[in-house]
Structures are given as structure tokens and as C-alpha cells.
Amino acid sequence: MSNSTSDQALKAHEPSYSTEERRTLPSGEEEFFFDVKTSDLEVNMGPQHPATHGVMRVLIRCDGELVTGAQAHLGYLHRCAEKIGENVEWLQYLPYTDRYDYLAAMNNNLGYSMAVEALMPGFEVPRRATMLRTICVELNRIASHLVAYGTYGLDIGAITPFLYAFREREWIQSLFEKICGARLTYSYIRIGGVFNDAPPGWLTEVGHFCDVFEEKWKEYRDLLALNHIFIKRTAHVGVIPKDMAIDFGLTGPMLRGSGVDFDLRRDMPYMAYGEAHEAGAFDVPLGEGEKGELGDCWDRFSVRVQEMMESIKLVRWCLEVIEDGPIIGDVPKVLKVPPGEAYVGIENPRGELGHYVHSDGGKIAVRCRVRGPSFTNLSVIEELMVGTLLADSVAIIGSTDIVVGETDR
């Protein structure tokens, strides 16, 4: 990407320089300076920067430690996922879905599979497949939130919680390895069902994992979320009010962190989530402004931490109700999808993952649009970072929990 730093102005939040050498700081204070000519510093945060969670670039303008302007530059990880979707067969595209939000590959598989299934009228996914899907998706949600938990700790400067989180994530990955042979990019959830039944003893081990994780989860919460320095660093920082969250189209924990009570799994249920909610298998945790203001970084973080527990409850429920049966519907090897268009949005760990697929009846999609939650969630940072300190801006980027693979696709 060519450089566009100086010629294009950063988003307008520029403090006004006037001839009297006086200006107004974002906090509303006035600053005077008579002898010293100062100018703001433009700093490139990224694309190779530890706080950008991958290869994203944020151009920030700073007055000392104070951020006075921010502009996100994306596209360093753009891999043409949508174009590829128009060039490969339906089933062949599935492995590509693993790669946009690589921390929640199961969820991506599910989103795409459901979008294609929506184009096949009358097609019904077998019950056991639905349950296996739910277990895998929820386990992957835990794994993804564990990364969010750990890396947010890293952003704030606590290194150890990251390794603890990865210890449990490792277990989830080896569970996935047992069921589908892959540890990161699963391609396990296929169009029509899942591709492999759970090996003997797998479901018992998942149950065991739930028991152990519940204990560990309390430690994690106490270690980081309730740590005094952590609260000082994240409460009152990066506050997204309710209406701003809605205006920016935020979804997932970002939206719930601002106190908006909406979860696709509960409110527009798909798969077995409606049934699960009726059975009281899960709640939707919301940000409450417990430690600071409603919608601050701590609230978003706390929502993710609590969601892990809800996922555990969901997995437990699935383990109770799962029964034997077929694991994949009748889907031909070379799939010809009936003509039509479908949009399916599901609740990913980061928000609504939407797939718009358009088929003309052939073996290849006409259009395969991916609406990644990270992309929209990220758009809010330009606004949030202005007027904060440099360290806060890192906390804000971390609290959006983006996966750059998904913002750029």
C-alpha cells in the first residue's frame, strides 16, 4: 500500500491553532504557549506493531502522549476472499472461510454452510449434526475469547494471563484435533452437516473440559478482570455510548458491552439455540458500567469473560440432549446449489458474521460476500482514540478484539 500520510489530512479532530498561540485541548481545557513552537507528532502504529494484533496500521497524531488524531489503514492482510469465492466450487470455498477469522474457524464454517443451506429449499440438517455443530462452535467461542482475554492482558502489560489462557485453549485445540484432525483451520462443519462423527469418548472429554474450565475461569477473572491496575487502565477508557454503538453498526460483545441487550443466538435463533434458550441453557451477559462508565473497555472485556461461562453452559446442555443419528444430510460431492440469493448472519465471537451468497444454479457462486464483524467493529476506533493517551489507544484497539484476517479478508 502506498503511503498516504502527509497529503491526506487525518480525520478532523485537529486542535485549532490560532495566531494567539492558544488552543483548546480535547478535554476542553485551553492551552497557551508563547515562546515555544510545538507541533504534533505523526506516528505510524503498525503495520508491524505489537498492539495492532496482526498487520494493521493506525496513523496517529500525538501531542506528547495525547492522541489528537487517528486514522486506520487496512488491507495489509487482504487475501481476496470474496473474489476467490466467485472462482471456486461451493465446497472448495469452505477451507477459505477458516482463514478470515482464524481464531474462530468453526464459526466461519458454520456461517458459510448455513448461508449455502439457506439456498437449498427443504434441506434439513440432521439433529446430531446440529448438536455437534453447536458444541464445536461454542468451544471455539471459548477458545477465541481466551485469546481475546490473553492478548488484551498483553496490551495492558500483563504477560502471564496470556499463557494461562493458551493452556486451556490448547486443550480445546486438541479436542478439535481429535474430532477433525486440524488444530486451527478445521473445515469441520460442512454444507449439510459435519464431516466426521465424534470419536468414542470425545463427548465425555468435552464434559470433563467443562468441569475443569469452570474452576480455571474463576482464577482468570480474578487474575486479570478484577486486578486493580487492570481496572484502572480500562475503566472509563474508550467509552462507547449506546447510540454510538448502534450508529456504528457494532455487533457482538462490542454492542453488548455498551449495554445493548441483543444476541443473535437468543433474539433471532438459528440451529438449536432457540431450544437451548427455552431450556435456560444460556444467558446474555451485558456491560453494566460496573467499574467505570457503561460501554468502556472494561465492560467489553468483562462481557467476553462472562460469555465464556455461558458457552460452557451451552456445551453442557448439548451434551445432555445429543443423541445418535446421521451427521450429514444428503449433499452431493459436486454441489449444484439452486439459483437464489441468501444472507445469513450468525453470532461469531466477535459479532455478526454475515454471508451473502448468490447462486445461478451452477457449481460456483456468482457472489460470495463476507461481512466480517471485526471490520465494522474496528471502524469505531478512529473516533474513540482521539483525546486519549497513547497507552489508552492501545487499550482501545485491544478491546475491539479484532482479527485482522477478518477486517481485510
Partner 1 sequence: MELQAIHDTLTAAGVAGLLGCDEPRPSNKKEKDQGRSGLPFLMVDPAGIVPLLTACRDMPLLRFDLLIDLTAADPAADGEDLWVLIQLLSLKHRHRLAIKACLPKSALSMPSATAVYRAADWHERECSEMFGITFEGHPDPRKILLPDDWDGYPLRKDYEFPTEYHGISCE
Partner 2 sequence: MIQEQAQQALSHAVHPGSNVFVRILEWLPLPEWVPGWVITLGGVVIGMSIFLAVMSVLVMFCVWLERKVSGHIQCRTGPMYAGGWHGWAQSIADGVKLLLKEDTIPNEADRTLFWIAPAIVLGSIFGAMVAMPLSYDWWFGRMDLGVFAILALSSTTTIGVVMAGWASNSKWSLYGAMREAAQVVAYEIPLGLSLLAPLFVLGTFSLNEASAMQSGWFGMKWAIFTNPFLIPAFMIYWIAALAETKRAPFDLPEAESELVAGFMTEYSGIRWSFFFFEEYAAMLLMSVLAAFFWFGGFESPLTGALRASGVEETSLLFSVVCFGTVMIKGFVGIFLMMWMRWTLPRVRIDQVMTMGYKYLTPLALFCVLGAACWEALQHLIFS
Among candidate residues 136, 189, 178, the one with its CA nearest the CA of residue 331: 189
Query: Would you give the DSSP letter of residue 245?
Result: H
Q: In angstroms, rounded to a whole number, what is the distance separating the alpha carbons of residues 364 and 126?
A: 25
Residue 253 touches which member of partner 1, partner 2, none, C-beta under 5-8 Å by kind? none
Measured from the CB atom, the residue of 64 and 199 that comes closer to partner 2 is: 64
Q: Residue 146: which region, alpha, beta or left (left: phi > 0; alpha: psi -120 to 50)?
A: alpha
Say how many residues make up the chain. Answer: 409
User: What, of partner 1, partner 2, none, does residue 103 touch, CB below 5 to 8 Å by kind?
Assistant: none
- Sequence-separated (6 or more) residues with CB below 8 Å from residue 191: 90, 91, 94, 112, 113, 116, 117, 331, 335
Work out which of 14, 42, 63, 82 binds partner 1, going by CB under 8 A.
82
Choosing from 179, 224, 286, 380, the residue that interacts with partner 2 (CB under 8 A) is: 224
Query: What residues does 347 pair with on adjacent strands?
Result: 352
Longest dimension (CA), the chain: 80
43 binds partner 2 (CB under 8 A): yes
* Grid cell of 10 as nine digits: 487525518
Residue 336 C-beta: closest distance to partner 1, Å: 11
Q: How far is CA 370 from CA 123, 273, 347, 406, in A?
A: 23, 23, 14, 9
Write the interaction track for partner 1 spanning residues 365-394; mark x where CB under 8 A is met and - where it is not. -xx-x-x---xx-xx---------------
> Residue 124 or 211: which CB sits closer to partner 1?
124
Cis peptide before 47 (omega within 30 of 0): yes
Q: Are 399 and 50 in contact (CB under 8 A)?
A: no
* Residue 14 in contact with partner 1, rule: CB under 8 A: no
Of these partners, partner 2, partner 1, none, which one is at the site of residue 74 (CB under 5 to 8 Å by kind)? partner 1
Least distance (Å) from partner 1 to the CB of residue 6?
13
Contact residues toward partner 1 (CB under 8 A) are 1-2, 4, 8, 11, 74-75, 78, 80, 82-83, 86, 118-121, 246-249, 251, 260, 262, 267-268, 338-343, 345, 352, 354, 356, 358, 360-361, 366-367, 369, 371, 375-376, 378-379, 408-409
Contact residues toward partner 2 (CB under 8 A) are 41, 43-44, 49-51, 64-65, 153-160, 163-164, 167, 224, 227, 229-230, 232-233, 389-392, 394
